[in-house]
Amino acid sequence: MSNDWSILPGVDLHLDLASSGSRRASLERALRDAIRSGRLAPHTRLPSTRTLAAELGLARGTVAAAYDQLVAEGFLTARTGSGTTVAALAHSAPPSTRRMSEPAAPRFDLRPGSPDVSLFPVNDWLRSLRRALARVPVAAYDYGDPCGHIELRRALAEYLGRARGVLAAPDRIVVTSGSVQALALLARVIAESGEPVIAMEDPGLAYHREVVCHAGAQVTALPVDDRGARTDLLSTSEFSEVRAVVVTPAHQYPVGVTLHPQRRLALTAWARERGGIVIEDDYDGEFRYDRQPVGALQGMAPEHVAYLGSASKTVAPGLRLAWLVLPEHLVQPVARAKRLTDLHTETIGQLALAEFITSHGYDRHIRACRSRYRRRRDLLVARFGATFGRQYALHGIAAGLHGMVTLPPEGPTEAEVLAAASARGLAVGELGSHWHEPGEHHRQAIIVGYGTSGDASFAAALDTLVRTLRGRAG
């Protein structure tokens, strides 16, 4: 009998009936193999003997005998009125299909880098989506412009000019699938230009350095102090090969300082004199608490600054929507790189965000989030001030979604604090992984995020952090 690939009705499973041996033995072997490999999951209900016999071209008695044999062996179970089902065998899946165990989630999460996704404006987003889809032309569901849908680019041009001081025109904007893709596209274009050296803040986000290097560029460290990135060093011989710089001027990550006005001037002057490009990562520029927001650097030198913004912190990372406002000479190269990467960012989310912005729902949502985050920030400051005084110094708390806690020289190390916190079910960030090169001379600090944890758990998380630091204090 030739190999017969057939489908079990209702469970969509192929059975290979061998050409040698009896038909009953071939059916038994095929069912055993399907059960052992996991293709037939426990408790799956098999077709009746009549149905399977008709499907396979076998006698009904042959199928019934095969079922009876597998019931006797424990592979199947049969109950009157319930049919025949796959037994729940106590055996492990093959090594190739065994799933790796995932680390247990911490009880309290004060790691930086994420907003409170429970604040996602579900109802407002749905209203924006409905309004957008009600009037969008059918062509919007086709392949789109690599630069992004024009409705979103127009909305962003108005919003960024009004709220962040960005000089933006729709034809200078490229919409990307998240800020990581935006950074990768820019790094690729810069690397392909023949001048691949990009300076990045030190300390800074290690993942972004990896992204830039993966795109083909070379990274050199630009030190950060209490005035922000040392942009005054860019004119020295040490940085003579640098033609691009990545900075977080509104709220440096992770230290949290704002780039000093003199450093801003030095940076834009360097870009004009060298023909350089500044990549301004404005990842949380909307969240400032103790003073008016610092305007985007891009407004000072729009032909030399590539502005990078995102909905990840303001709305949710899951949207995967970000944008670049580019100097004119970079628009086409970046658009080409975008087209060759993924053609274009998905359109439906772009249309919803455009409606969310133009209806001012975006502004209302940001104000509501800012109020929630400020209350958490204030609680963090109050608890640390009342408990530790100046023993553990807080930095970078005028803005953003995180603060840096400097550990005293005679106190615990980062590793000790993280281990003690983990023992209490608390996760926090640490400064050590952000340095370009590890070294004992680096300051010791932990990074406390107040975005990830919701209101209900933040106070308890903060109590756990305070107890941890008390327990580690000399």
What is the torsion angle, in degrees rounded to the nearest 10, for the CA atoms of residue 335, residue 336, residue 341 and residue 346? 40
Spatial distance between the Cα atoms of 433 and 206, rounded to a whole number of angstroms: 7
Cα distances from 436 to residues 200, 201, 448, in angstroms, run: 9, 9, 21
Contact 461, 108 (CB under 8 A): yes
Tens of pLDDT along 166-202?
999 999 999 999 999 999 999 999 999 998 999 999 9
Cα distances from 331 to residues 151, 175, 180, in angstroms, run: 18, 11, 18
Examine the pLDDT at 99 and tell me if it is beyond 80: no
Cα distances from 176 to residues 184, 337, 347, 357, 473, in angstroms, run: 10, 11, 11, 17, 45
Domain spanning 109-113+364-472: CATH superfamily: Aspartate Aminotransferase, domain 1 (3.90.1150.10)
Examine the pLDDT at 136 and tell me if it is beyond 80: yes
Examine the pLDDT at 11 and tell me if it is beyond 90: no
By DSSP bridging, strand 305-310 and strand 277-281 are: parallel
Enumerate the domain spans of the chain.
4-86, 109-113+364-472, 120-363
Cα distances from 386 to residues 302, 353, 379, 382, 390, in angstroms, run: 45, 42, 11, 6, 10
Alpha-helical (H) ranges within 149-199 are 150-164, 179-192
Tens of pLDDT along 295-333?
999 999 999 999 999 999 999 999 999 999 999 999 999
Looking at residue 269, its pLDDT comes to 97
Looking at residue 102, its pLDDT comes to 55
Averaged pLDDT for residues 361-365:
98
What is the Cα 381 distance to its own chain's centre? Answer: 28
Spatial distance between the Cα atoms of 361 and 365, rounded to a whole number of angstroms: 6
Task: Based on DSSP, count helices (H) and strands (E) in the chain, helices before strands.
Answer: 13, 17
Looking at residue 246, its pLDDT comes to 98
Cα distances from 405 to residues 72, 205, 262, 384, 417, in angstroms, run: 66, 17, 26, 10, 11
Tens of pLDDT along 370-415?
999 999 999 999 999 999 988 899 999 999 999 999 999 888 999 9
Averaged pLDDT for residues 134-141:
95
Spatial distance between the Cα atoms of 3 and 328, rounded to a whole number of angstroms: 63
Looking at residue 2, its pLDDT comes to 44
What type of residue is 92? Answer: S
How many residues are there in the chain? 474
What type of residue is 111? Answer: R
Averaged pLDDT for residues 19-30:
80
What is the Cα 365 distance to its own chain's centre? Answer: 20
Confidence of residue 37 (pLDDT cuts 50, 70, 90): confident
Examine the pLDDT at 1 and tell me if it is beyond 80: no
Closest CA to 31 of 20, 40, 21, 43: 40
* CATH class of the domain comprising 120-363: alpha beta
Confidence of residue 97 (pLDDT cuts 50, 70, 90): very low
Examine the pLDDT at 279 and tell me if it is beyond 70: yes
Tens of pLDDT along 195-223?
899 999 999 999 999 999 999 999 999 99
Angle between helical axes of 206-214 and 179-192 (0-180°, round to 10): 40
What type of residue is 217? Answer: A
Examine the pLDDT at 94 and tell me if it is beyond 70: no
Examine the pLDDT at 340 and tell me if it is beyond 80: yes
Spatial distance between the Cα atoms of 363 and 160, rounded to a whole number of angstroms: 11
Contact 177, 223 (CB under 8 A): no
Confidence of residue 92 (pLDDT cuts 50, 70, 90): very low
* CATH class of the domain comprising 4-86: mainly alpha
